[in-house]
Amino acid sequence: MLGQGFVSAAVVAASVLFVLSLGGLSNQEKAKRAVWYGIFGMLFAVFFTAAGPGIGHYWIMLPMMVIGAVIGVKLARSVVMTQMPQLIAALHSFVGLAAVFVGLNAEMERASVMAARHAQESMAQFSAFAALVATKTPDELLFLQIEVVLGVFIGAVTFTGSIIAYGKLAGKVDGKARQLPGGHRLNAAALVASLVFAIMYLQGAGIWTLLLIALLAFFIGYHLIMGIGGADMPVVVSMLNSYSGWAAAAIGFTLSNDLLIVTGALVGSSGAILSYMMCKAMNRKFINVILGGFGAKPQTVTHIEGEQLAIDAAGVAAALNAADSVILVPGYGMAVAQAQTSVSELTRKLRAQGKQVRFAIHPVAGRLPGHMNVLLAEAKVPYDLVLEMDEINAYFPNTDVVIVIGSNDIVNPSAEDDPDSPIAGMPVLEVWHAKQVFVSKRGQGTGYSGIENPLFYKENTRMLYGDAKSSIEQLIPLLKG
């Protein structure tokens, strides 16, 4: 068992590594090193926490750590990139449930200490946490109870919210925004009831009030995320990431664990900042996300005149051979088809012909921020070809050919032209300004949001139907050189 000095030093070291990891993830070239910073930071955190003072029951803890590590390795090897968003949502749920369990256990320990004090019994038989509780003044115990309430409430909201987010991302739950009769009034009533039970708990009513708070928070988490449309899940996952961080920070205060406090605050604040940035990128109000109103706007059914005109691979290849500039717009369809390697080969061949090739990345392309960037980096696409929406939109009017690969909502002109559209005001990639647009798509269905896309009916747009990977692979041998 290590002394508190070693543990305090490890807290500082792990915190620095976590900060370096978060900072490095903002840059594609530094991201791999940033991941290693995070790995070593977590190793420091786990080892020095487990070996710190007051920790025991290793015969239970070590087997559980081994089991968890084995499950983690198995998941890492089996989960493909298209499943990463729902995996992240599922992992958030574990953090939330852990916060609930820690909070309930802390209250049981506190109640045992209070009972022993009242009976003037020895506290030698109690756990290290109970011994810590026994040293607290009445004011400090009140703050402990507040921390417990916050940890249980935020953790419970995070747990059920993350489960529903997982279900929507995995296609196991209907992606449409749905709420029970009463809508947001039910959430408000549950929140008020939670506050009433919290006051009762702080006044000594007992652990049953905490259990009721947890049940109400479970409902709030479920109902909030059910009321959010599936197309908005990337923002929701980021928001739940923030919630899980604050839940971890709350239980860190409860356990007097500095590392949990620092790490939880880092995760909570970075998740909140990312959610805000994504809301701004999609022209949404941040407060609507927090209140579960995100995506709840009723959808209007718009009939689009005209028809979608199909083209074959030979026609697209002819246009590419004649073009001087090409922009590729990857989306979730590229990820599902695992077409990134084929897209990289297409890029290499076009550049070998002396053509200017760029990639246009929307902030919420795919199912989580950076999804497309990771796939393109994995396929060895040069970083300097990958441009964000704010940079690339100015180039579309002077571009000969745009190829949209499995994207839909992020290239939908309704965001600018139709004020009644559910995505009205959302910044999009303005691909329709290019001379020719080819859309690689499986069929004529709508995108993840269920909204029709007028782009597919425009005069300068042609549809290349079929699996994205096979469609791109058909183009490659037809290119010159």
**Active site members:** 409
227 φ/ψ angles, rounded to the nearest 5 degrees: -80, 10
Kindly calculate the radius of gyration of the chain based on its CA atoms and give it in whole angstroms.
Answer: 26
Amino acid sitting at position 130: A
Which token pair is 84? 């990463």
> How far does Cα 93 stand from its chain's mean position?
12
Q: Return the C-alpha torsion angle 448, 454, 456, 457, nearest 10.
A: 150
Q: Beta-carbon neighbour count of residue 47 at 10 Å? A: 13
Which token pair is 164? 């529903």
CB 365 within 8 A of CB 389: no
Give the residues across from 328 on adjacent strands.
Answer: 359, 403
Q: Beta-carbon neighbour count of residue 476 at 10 Å? A: 16
Q: Beta-carbon neighbour count of residue 401 at 10 Å? A: 23
Cα–Cα dist 453/266, whole Å: 39
In order, the DSSP letters of 345-361 are HHHHHHHHTT-EEEEEE
3-state SS class at 385: helix
DSSP 310: B
Cα–Cα dist 366/124, whole Å: 55
DSSP 404: E
Q: Is the dihedral of CA 24, 25, 28, 33 positive or negative?
A: positive
CB 362 within 8 A of CB 334: no
Which token pair is 351? 């550049």
DSSP 299: P
CB 424 within 8 A of CB 448: no
Nearest to 107 by CA among 201, 18, 37, 222: 201
Helix ranges (DSSP H) in 227-382 = 233-255, 258-281, 286-290, 313-322, 332-337, 340-352, 371-378
Amino acid sitting at position 286: F
Cα–Cα dist 338/336, whole Å: 5
